A and B are shown apart, each in its own frame.
Chain A
């Protein structure tokens, strides 16, 4: 189908983008890479949007080192994240995630900020944010604010972003020496949304386990994390299956997803220990 947009304006810089959003009478829609938004517009799932195109804002793109963290600009494209040496060295989970996201042409335009703001529970980056204990940086008309990833994702395609706010960057802690970051997922075909996916980050301070495609938001598996911290993998698998409430759809049932989540946790632990590739 053909998209039905309400209007379009290209932002020259962040403050211009904020002005545009403010002037949109609540119909504003931030257009970044557009790889989800334009598909939704073409399907007429989203109509009448006043598009604020921020894709040219170079100040929102790129990866920089800040002491113990990496700052990733919201407009950094998937392809750039996959190839970035800082990401590969300090947040390898994100580089691994990129290999699972759709296909090359999508990765060439899709942005990490767009993926997070879209908040698809089946997407990789939102779950990665939880497992990495990332901070989401947001510009609003009243200034900047930062939100912990776990507080950012509120419901299906819903985040704590207000209508007049733009996600500008993410910071993630740099991986410690010896830290393992693992992504395991099951998809029917290469590049498909995962039936279930699981991120495991094993740090000196503890384990972080997050999942995708098991609910209306990406979820942190707190009980499983606690049991992993205690070295109880079997217990963690049982706890994980008990603490998630996955959906059923045409691809798989809740029962399948729950079962697979446990399998993926075992595989992730084995991979983190170097037992499997």
Chain B
């Protein structure tokens, strides 16, 4: 059955409506169940002794004094755990040349970053474990370190992993057209050097895992704050030598993820290994301070880039040289080369131009490993692209909206392949820009800006168009050999009273997955969403799937849910047709009733159908299928990724005496295809924007030259708080993907992708009359004053 999305009055029209989230009521009452809320009988706690050196040989470990602490039961070294846990190597075959050494759950004889786990102390309480950890004596011999990204490949720089030969983890050069000759002849060439600050995710709930091992059943149960329970099931099974069928990962409430919780962390695997050795439940809740040195970091990039335009503002060529430093190891199993690879894939994304060169150089260093974090690579690519476009517009004396209109892919050219060889099925750059300009009343805003400037107040407007990669296929990870699933499944069943249960492989991290799935299943079956109970996050009962990352929950998980729901509907109607002696095609299910499609006349409540099927099956014809449960899996096949698009705008004020930026307002128009729940999409956008604003104004991990992390607390690493954030106007254009019946693409990255560039462009718009420009994030008061030349050292 095809859903008539164009008709809002169709029966069971739940897709496209704002319905309440089924799990919100629980959470506002404090009835959430996060990992740290779970207490198991005989549960123990682990605390890790972590390397205080960025690079050091481990000469010896003396844990005698620690063992005397009341409550401390056992202490493990890296060698202890290596006996039962195999190491991993985080590479992907399709990222040619990517290399990384084997990594163990804890350091063996060498620690490679400040925070790397070295010793595990297991005790009856976290407090006792910490007391013990404080008394463990580790004898370190410091080794030469590499911290600086741009000199990591210099001949004089020490090599971090000598067996790899050099500090180069990965390099990729992509070239299209004749870039060099275009730059020689172009009307205008503008170049700039950009830096994006090393971030971390600061999930409100720190990384959390509680693992139990039942030796009699050879069964491992891991309660884990994760985005990808099946991936973790596979990883724990593989490295701890357990059949996948005997590893159950349960992912209850998760207190924020944003990409931080989609990786295999050494200390979490160590916790599982310890549980297996001790045959007792072991809990590890990362402390906030250790989170800063052990949660993955991201976005540590430096980019030299240039753009060539003709006199009419047409983009002729873009040339990008991107560098990123990823810490000591490529992170398992997604690898740490994807972010740089994304920069190559995404630069210039909205624009129809011919000549493109992009190179990414990914190097090792003695810092915390980096990996995929919300909107992977997007904020960097959008900053470079949109920064260059604005600079080109300024050089030409052209309005920033106008130069974009002259270059964005026309809305009717699709499908089209970009110079980065990305294939776009259908985007709406011009429609989105038109909507943005109307929403923000661009001309009035320019007038306000001029009026303010006359008063000596420096306001700026910044625009940032972007593309967003969602619904990834196996081309992202699977083809490289990673056991990361791009498909996802959903099982939908009808219980005897006619209520519906849906079990999905995608997970709930707060974005509203369960609400979204309940709407889809409700519409697919023909019941009210309140009658759909959605179960996620338990590998023992849900179909195998990839989980929630790269904005795939609605597009992949949602389509699987729709297909399984419609299959269940067909099964129900087949039984109903037999019972009612009617033509199945003449029957429909609406609001939990079997009805005549044409008249809507009620024929039978689902409750009655359930009673007959489950308790009086003897009255049904022999051979009638009676499976009121259906499972469908879905994977994209036409396109490697479903690209979406959007455009953001920032209006802000710069205090040119102090360098303080005040965000006045923010706009975003985006096109995520079919919108399932407008409120949930809007709030994904808003939350994403604010994460991007954090990157623009506040967030930056600082290290000193010895590889010591300098601002590892929430007092020193600044995240966006309510006081400084603006109100945000969000609008939509809907271009559904034709790959699926649902037509949904992702919306999770859009806000974060575009916000930093919009802010940068707005600041530079404000500063331009003063001859200043900033390109290094975050745009601290100091960096702004330095750009203005105000500070004398």
Contacts and interface: CB of A to CB of B under 8 A. Distances in A.
Interface of A: 1-2, 4, 43-44, 186, 188-193, 195, 249-256, 259-260, 263
Contacts of A192: 718
Contacts of B724: 189-190
B624 interface: no
Nearest to B720: A189
Interface residues of B, number: 31
Interface on chain A toward B: helix, strand, loop, or mixed SS?
loop
B657 A189 contact: no
A1 B289 contact: yes
Interface of B: 126-127, 130-131, 134, 287, 289, 657-660, 698, 700, 702, 710-711, 713, 715-716, 718, 721, 723-724, 780-782, 785, 790-793
A4 B791 contact: no
B126 A2 contact: yes
Contacts of B723: 189-191
B698 A189 contact: yes
A189 B718 contact: yes
B131 A4 contact: yes
A2 B69 CA distance: 15
Contacts of B785: 256, 259
Nearest to B698: A188
A252 B782 contact: yes
B658 A263 contact: yes
A173 B792 CA distance: 38
Contact of A250 (B131, B702, B790): B702
Nearest to A193: B715
A249 B780 CA distance: 13
A192 B720 CA distance: 12
Q: Which 6 A-B pairs have the closest CB atoms?
A: A190-B723, A2-B127, A255-B793, A256-B782, A250-B702, A250-B711
A186 B710 contact: no
16 contacts: A1-B287, A2-B130, A4-B130, A43-B289, A186-B658, A186-B781, A190-B723, A193-B715, A249-B710, A250-B702, A254-B793, A255-B792, A256-B785, A256-B791, A259-B785, A263-B657
Given A44-B130, A250-B702, A256-B659, 11 more contacts: A1-B287, A4-B127, A186-B658, A188-B698, A251-B780, A253-B782, A255-B792, A255-B793, A259-B785, A259-B791, A260-B781
A173 to B, nearest CB: 31
B660 A186 contact: yes
Given A1-B289, A189-B721, A250-B711, A259 B790 contact: yes
B662 to A, nearest CB: 12
A252 B781 CA distance: 8
Contacts of A191: 721, 723
Contacts, number: 65
B792 A259 contact: yes
A2 B124 CA distance: 14
Contacts of A186: 658, 660, 781
A241 to B, nearest CB: 9
Most chain A CB neighbours (cut-off 10 Å) among B287, B289, B781: B781
A207 to B, nearest CB: 21
A189 B724 CA distance: 7
Task: Please report whether the interface of chain B is mostly helix, strand, loop or mixed according to DSSP.
Answer: loop
Contacts of B711: 250
Contacts of B718: 188-189, 192
A1 B134 CA distance: 11
Nearest to B287: A1
Contacts of A259: 785, 790-792
B639 to A, nearest CB: 41
A43 B713 contact: yes
A195 B698 CA distance: 14
B781 A188 contact: yes
Contacts of A189: 698, 718, 721, 723-724
A44 B131 CA distance: 10
Contacts of A1: 130, 287, 289
A214 B711 CA distance: 19
B42 to A, nearest CB: 21
Nearest to A257: B782
B126 to A, nearest CB: 6
A260 B710 CA distance: 23
Contacts of A251: 716, 780
Given A250-B702, A260-B658, A190 B721 contact: yes
A192 B56 CA distance: 36
B134 to A, nearest CB: 7
B134 A253 contact: no
B134 A252 contact: no
A240 to B, nearest CB: 14
Nearest to B658: A186
A242 to B, nearest CB: 12
A7 to B, nearest CB: 15
Residue of B127, B131, B659, B711 most packed against chain A (CB within 10 A): B659
Nearest to B716: A250
A131 to B, nearest CB: 21
Contacts of B126: 2
A234 to B, nearest CB: 15
B289 A195 contact: no
Of listed B287, B702, B723, B791, residue having the most chain A CB within 10 A: B791
Nearest to B786: A256
A192 B564 CA distance: 51
A193 B716 CA distance: 10
